[in-house]
Structure 1
Amino acid sequence: MRKGHMIYGGLGLAHTAILDAPNIDCREFLRVLLLRADSRSANLGVRVLAEGTAALVRQAWGPSTTVHLQNFDGGDTGQSFNKAAIAKDVFRKNGPIKSTLRKYDVVIDVCGGDSFTDSYGLKRLGLILYTQSASQKLRIPTMLSPQTIGPFTNRVARALASRSLKRMTMVLSRDKASEQYSASLGRPVDLSATDVVFALPAPTTPKTRDIVLNVSGLLWNENSHVDSTVYRASVHSLIAALQERGHPITFMPHVLDNPRSDNDVPIAVELAHQYETTTDLAVPTSLQDARSIVSSARLVIGSRMHACLNAISTGTPAIPWAYSRKFAPLLEDIGWDEVVDLRTDPDPVKITLDILDKHSIADLTARNVTVVERAQARLTEVLAALQMSGAERTR
């Protein structure tokens, strides 16, 4: 084993054992590569995953730890990990990807939070599995950061994912459903944690806004998740209902302006102009700005999961309009069940208003405090597990 690497073993420990483990100093010279992590993405949820995971790593292994981010088409390494790079790497001992991976002591795959699945296509999964396999074959400690695991509908993809999971030094899920799915693939997770957004510092922002509404450009246009026509009608009905109740609305995009259809800004601008007499528009300039905006609200209603998680983690209650299975299990695990499922709930607007009739915003805010405490307790377990995993360093 080369100098600087740590010796790891599978954890497979009860949470109490992890919490009781001693802190082991493995900080000096440590270089960590976060795969599928991007702090400059137009999607602020992707930035959350990158910055939250980096924050966890530095909290576990010290602020001097070098953390580099790597996405498919570029990153801090200066090397792409895309299809073209794999073609140059696959039959070479010192190909561009392998040579880059050798520079690091630990590799942690963030997988964009929910990309360890074949739901986004086999090509994307193939890029993920190749890099994981290359890192594992080089005997670099390779981990899966807290994320959604699965589903896999393709039999070959399922088998390859199972093999990769079994070779991981550590596997962390962010909800119980993913924990169960990983176990079904033959690799029980080391911890069921939560989203890394709760590792980010919360801004202290005065409450100057009433309701911040995040409308998804992904769902507004034709998509594979929900009927876009129904989604548009539901959004307009919600705005009308909130205005009738006297709630000022601030529209906030969570995927910033970019050439793809997955872009929240045009819809937010359009809606703000359409309802300009009783609404406002707040377009974030950064992740920190977005967190300040949601922190300034009394309530957030959003279709982007991390728009809602950014709110909850900063102390603002949120009502997610969920479009996939990644929402509810994660939120239920930390005690938040005020979720509207756009795939199955027949009337999202009525359910949203029922929540507001049943609970005052003040009550939701008080409950939110407990949710944040539970989430941070789960991440404390992750920190202990990461510290424990560095059992001994060779010098």
Structure 2
Amino acid sequence: MDQLSRIEGLRAAMRNEALDAIAFIPGSSFRYLTGGTFHVMERPTVLIVPLQGRPVVVLPDLEAESWDVLGFDAEVLRWRDEEGYAGAFAQAARLLDLPVIGVEGLSMRVIERNALQAAFPRSELKDVQAATLSLRAVKDAGEIEHLRRAVKMAEAALTLTLAEVQIGMSEREIQLAMMANVLKQPITGPVSPPLVLAGANSALPHGHAGEYRLKSGDALLFDFGVGSGGYRSDITRTVFIHDVSAEDRELYDVVLEANRKGHEAARPGLSCHALDDLCRGHLEASRFAPYVVHKTGHGLGLDVHESPMVMRGNHALLAAGNVITIEPGLYWPGRLGVRIEDDVLITEAGCESLSTLPRELLVLA
């Protein structure tokens, strides 16, 4: 990780947004800039990167040693529980003159915002989430390698799990088997419980595994990912148990063709709007149009959902180094849902699918 170039990229974004600084709490952007992961808890930790001059970090005394090993050049303002954090924030204000401070609206909590506002009472706090996400949108070689590893491990875990699936198993039992197979991989975090949804539950795009037990003819949807160096894969496959009806096969084939069209079209210079319009347009031209409920995809990296969003209305152009998902889906309430999701690297020549598991309809005997 080249910290200096990332800080310079951040400062270029500040100039574009007319900011004097951006303040970060622990999370993906914090890690992207410093390499550090810290708990978000009752003790505020805030990194303030000014447009000019040395960054300042306010952090609890118990995190000081963890900060020091990062080797990140910053003025460190430590505080102890019995003292409280107000004094450290006030000291930051004495060091920095910041009329406009950017914050990430999706992650900045009220406790840190209030601490900043109290220490910088005349400063304007401005949500710059879009700018910080854009900063991370184009991945470097190291980031891409982590994503490759994350995809490979996820696919290995799914392959093992599919071999264990049997009629009569519950969604929860399959989910536990999947978690066990994930933990067999050399993961370096993070890991979240996979979505495992069967039968009519598969029509819930973000449902939760429960006690429903597999029957012949059911769709079985897996949506999950694992981590490598903090970077996350995110893949979905939908299979069928023992048998598949002609109508369910037809619906599956519509989703499969939308996925194929996305792979065929994705390239630098194509807008996210155009890619979504192509994939969703295919779904909407079918007789299953009422069952389209979401956009085609999203960026992937330290967050499962990050820039760029592959959706209508986002006219940002894809660029080499973007990693996105292509995940068309159809969700027929009370019957089934089908989603086929791949992790796709935009290359100079077009795109490369990092996920390689077969997409064609699979019926588990």
- Which TM-score band (shorter chain)? 0.3 to 0.5
Which one has the bigger helix percentage?
Answer: 1
TM-score normalised by length of structure 2: 0.34
Higher RCO (Cα < 8 Å, 6 or more apart): 1
| Pair member with larger Rg | 2
TM-score normalised by length of structure 1: 0.32
